[in-house]
Structures are given as structure tokens and as C-alpha cells.
Amino acid sequence: MDIEIIEPAEARRRQRAGAVLVDVREAHEQASGMAEGAFGVPQSRLQAAPTDALPEPDADVLLICETGARSQQCAQALMDAGYRRVASVQGGTRRWRGEALPLVRPAGDHDFLERYSRHLRLPEVGEAGQRKLQAARVVVVGAGGLGSPALFYLAAAGVGTLVLVDDDIVDRSNLQRQILHTEERIGRAKVDSARQALSALNPSVAIETRNERLTSTNVEDLLEDADLVLDGADNFAVRYLLNDACIKLRKPLVHGAVHRFEGHASVFDAGRHRGVSPCYRCLFPEPPPPEAAPNCSEAGVLGVLPGIIGMIQATEVVKLLLGIGEPLTGRLMHLDALSMRFREMRLEPDPECPVCAPGRAFPGYIDYEAFCSGR
């Protein structure tokens, strides 16, 4: 038996005569507007348990989706289940809207459903996953080259609270790569400039700023409530400090670094997985001598490179918060931008690591500036 296909105006007429109009789109699609009088039952739920939504197999049932394809699939499923009076609306809600037939917006968090609609379409994310992101608290140390792209994408993704830690101000030389900042905000604190940009992008994200230098004295207060930490620092002293604090506090650390035309990223999670996941000290037991590791202001850096590494870091943050995919734990991803080649290196935990070795008590914080300067 062929599926009955009807025009939107005919569906409206039959609806007024008592037919049941069912919108089979997902909730985030319905948020943009539903045919007046329709009730929403997503396609998967309707096909899995049709009698829950439509207990009367003799009812006059009209199905509508976005363009008409899904409603026809549902109509066929209902007919196979014994429903005898089923029709699909030609052109779906899109055509219903185009013919100026009445639409209503269902109750609910419209901003959430519309803003994250592309996440909600992913089975690996869905509403439950997006709510996880919404409830998350991420500390980002550094609102510069790495922090800029990472923060933009974390705010866009809907990470609920972003804590920005940076004591620097915006300089014109930053603008070649630190895309959070603008010419008009030169001279302002980077955390304030970043908050302005991120709030404009996604006002539903809470932006907390700490215009202070990360030290052994304040690191635990800053990281204590975080779900994870993103390392966007530009010096070894802060990297070692973050590593040690994250091990003590059992926080995953998403690391990134850039130098001239090369960059790398990894996830260090030794605090939660001692003896299984390495830490930053397992990779670099000793910092390189200062003359061998100049910073960006001394050696320069290709402006787009921090963007690539920062986006990889943001990707790892989202994956970790959602618990999906394979994080970069135990792996170092290296990028040579000149040849555009990625190379991966396996990392093993050091059984003699002074900080993350199994059973080893936390040794305490050290003078990281002196440690990294070779004094």
C-alpha cells in the first residue's frame, strides 16, 4: 500500500477536523518552530514504540518532519505496525513555513537547542553530553597564542565555566597569533580582553578571570575545582608547576607548546593513572638550558601554528569531558608546519619519576624558576 502524501494546506484542514499531527524531528529542530497543534515525538522513539505515542491504530495520523523524508519513513513504519490512516506532509515544516501556515515554538531552552544543534545531532554527544560540557569547569593557563584558539572553541562548544589565568597585557606584537585580542584592546589585561571576546561569542558561558601569575602559592586554589586544566603557558617553569600540581590534585592536563615552525600536544593524566599514564616530567626530566629553548619573543613563531596546536588541545578537552574517543594520553603529537607532517611518539611512564611514580609521596613544590634557569 502506497504512503499517502498530502499538501501542508490539506494537512492543516484535516488537523482542524480532528487528525493528529506528529512532528518526528528531534527536539533541537523543533525549537526553531513547529506546526501549530503538532506534538513532538522523535522518529527513533515513534518507530521503536508507536503505541506509546499513538495508542489508537484507527486514528487519522499526519506526520511531518523538516522536508518530508523522515515523515515518509515513519509513515511506512506505522503502516507496517498496523496503522491504517497515515499520511506524510509533502515538503515538511520547511514548506509549512513557506506557505505561511501557523508555527509555534515549544517551551524549553531555545538558545541551548539552537546553539548546540550540530552537537545534539551526534550520537556520541547528544543532549546528555552537551549537558556535561555545560556543567564542566576548565582552567586555561595563558590567554595568548595557544589559549586564544582553544578558548574560542571551548566557549563555542558550550563548556560551562572557563577560568582564565594570565598576568600579561595585550601588546601589538601579540596580534599576529593571539586572535582573542584586537588593536583597540592593546594595553588591557589579556584576561579582560579575552573575556570580552568570549562573552560576545557565547554569553551563556561563565568566564572567570585571574589576572595574576601562576605560582606555587596560588596554583592549588586556582586548580582545585577544575575538571581539567589546559596548559597554554609559554615557559618551562609554569609547565613544570602545572604538571606537579595536576598530579597532586589528580587533574588531567592538556599540554601544548610551539617553537618557530614546530609544535606538539599531549595529555598528561598521571595523577589519576599512576604507573599507566606518563607526566610532563617523564617526557622532560630536566628542562633544556635557557639558550637552547628561547621563547617566542626571542626565536619567533609562525603565526598560524599556535592556532593548530591550540585547536588540538581544545579537541582533547572536549573528548575528555565527554569521555569519548582516544585521548592523547601516552602519546605526543608533533607537527612540522613547514612540511605539514604530523608525527606521533609513544610516551611511557618513568618508574623512577620523582613526582608520578606509583607509591611516591608528593615531594612538594620547588623553585621552578631556578630549576628551569639551571641555577
Question: Is the same domain home to 60 and 208?
Answer: no
Question: Is the same domain home to 166 and 21?
Answer: no
pLDDT average, residue stretch 275-302:
82
Residue 113 in any domain: the answer is no
Domain boundary among 78, 108, 138: 108
Domain that holds residue 72: 4-108
pLDDT average, residue stretch 77-81:
94
What pLDDT is attached to residue 289? 73
Return d(Cα 215, Cα 219) in angstroms, integer: 6
Residue with the larger pLDDT of the pair 1 and 186: 186
Which pTM does this prediction carry? 0.84
Give the confidence band of 137 by pLDDT, cuts at 50, 70, 90.
very high
Question: Is the same domain home to 31 and 71?
Answer: yes
What pLDDT is attached to residue 290? 67
Domain boundary among 60, 86, 108: 108
CATH number of residue 93's parent domain = 3.40.250.10
Question: Is the same domain home to 129 and 63?
Answer: no
The count of structural domains within the chain is 2
Give the confidence band of 12 by pLDDT, cuts at 50, 70, 90.
very high
Question: Is the same domain home to 168 and 267?
Answer: yes
pLDDT average, residue stretch 301-324:
97
Return d(Cα 164, Cα 316) in angstroms, integer: 18
Residue 328 in any domain: the answer is yes
Residue 223 and residue 249 in contact, taking contact as beta carbons nearer than 8 Å: yes
Lowest mean pLDDT among 8-12, 266-270, 368-372: 368-372
Residue 70 in any domain: the answer is yes
Question: Is the same domain home to 18 and 147?
Answer: no
Own/partner pairs, 95-103, CB within 8 angstroms, 24+ separation: 95/8, 95/67, 95/68, 96/8, 96/11, 96/35, 96/64, 97/33, 99/8, 99/9, 101/8, 101/9, 101/12, 101/35, 101/36, 102/35, 102/36, 103/33, 103/34, 103/35, 103/36
What pLDDT is attached to residue 178? 97
Question: Is the same domain home to 103 and 164?
Answer: no
Q: Is pLDDT above 80 for 251?
A: yes
Question: Is the same domain home to 204 and 312?
Answer: yes
